[in-house]
Amino acid sequence: MKININNCKSFKHAKLAAVIMVCLVLTTSLVYGWLKKDIVISDAGNIIEISTFKNTVNDVLNEKAIEIGPYDKMSIAMTEKLEDGLSISIQRAKKVNIKTSDINLFIFTNANTVEGVLKEAEILVGSLDRVEPAIDANLQEDMEINIIRVEEKLVSEKVPMEFTNEVKKNESLAKGLVNVVRKGKQGEKEVTIKMVYEDGKEVSKKIVSEKVLSEPVNGVVEEGVKTTLVTSRGQINFSKAISMSATAYDATFESCGKHPGDPQYGITYSGLKVRPGIVAVDPRVIPLGTWLYVDGYGEALAADIGGAIKGNKIDLYYESPSDVKKFGRRPVKVYILDKPRYKF
């Protein structure tokens, strides 16, 4: 049998080509497997699995368009060579606003808690200071942290201690009058107060201790109950008595500011003509038209007023200027008579 030499050569060439092709495929697979790296990036808790042919951390971040801010932190350097199975952690900085009474600070931080960022910013928190949110709260983006400066002070002051009056009835004393048997005296105590301030403003105060320095002395007072008075004209009945300061006046210009011939000369505020027994009072104390008995003067009618007659003052009418001058000013007892009011 005759063998075709050309056919044998072609078969050998094809077999060699196949072997070369297999070698190339194997070589390529080996090179690909050697160059490819499988890495994991944890970006603020988000897991990203990546297969890459890049050489450095910076290269793979650029490849995947992952930006790193100036305050962000990475677990390894940007220039670090990539290796298969490498894990990269990115911790993103948070922007927070820290406020105190004298600070308004914006800061980017990688701290996880309020306490951490305050330490990072070197802001001291006193034992009484209040932090909002709480010191152990987790940080959030754009969180506002307020520090309220709290201060406590102890203040001591002396405070009077009031006395009370023991009141007794006196059957021989006119109703409305009071007799002080023993004058009361205030005591004194020292009070210690805890003052609490927040950012310099007082928010509370509380008494924490008291010390008596002197005890108060209670007074003794007699109140009159008698409603009858015996005079030279007999017994009179009254509703109450008033201690007053008395002066005297007459119808002259010096007393009333009017001359004879004036239509209002000698006319009282109530319209009555002046005469002995007409007196001027403060209507807020004694209403006009009230009948009175004045010690040393006699029965009188409250029918006039005066610019200087205010409060417990009474002005008694006399005909003679010499009697007015002689009377001067003196204390008197005035009795409000138990009679119907005069109608002008």
- Alpha carbon distance 36, 67 (integer Å): 23
- Alpha carbon distance 237, 277 (integer Å): 18
Long-range contacts of 250-258 (CB under 8 A, 24+ apart): 250/317, 250/318, 250/319, 250/320, 250/321, 250/323, 250/324, 251/319, 252/321, 254/321, 255/321, 255/324
Roughly how many angstroms between the first and final C-alpha of the chain, as a whole number? 175
Note whether 49 and 38 are within 8 A (CB): yes
Give 247-258 as a DSSP string. Answer: EEE-SSHHHHS-
Note whether 68 and 90 are within 8 A (CB): yes
Per-residue pLDDT of the chain (344 residues; tens, 9 = 90+): 554 555 545 556 666 666 667 556 555 544 444 579 999 999 888 999 999 999 999 999 999 999 999 999 999 999 999 999 999 999 999 999 999 999 999 999 999 999 999 999 999 999 999 999 999 999 999 999 999 999 999 999 999 999 999 999 999 999 999 999 999 999 999 999 999 999 999 999 999 999 999 999 999 999 999 999 998 889 999 999 999 999 999 999 988 888 888 888 989 999 999 999 999 999 999 999 999 999 999 999 999 999 899 999 999 999 999 999 999 999 999 999 999 999 98
Question: What is the reported pTM?
Answer: 0.55
Q: What is the DSSP letter of 11?
A: H
> Which among 53, 55, 60 is positioned nearest to 32, based on CA atoms?
53
- Alpha carbon distance 165, 295 (integer Å): 29
Residues 6 or more apart in contact with residue 59 via CB below 8 angstroms: 52, 82
Report residue 106 as tokens: 């914006």
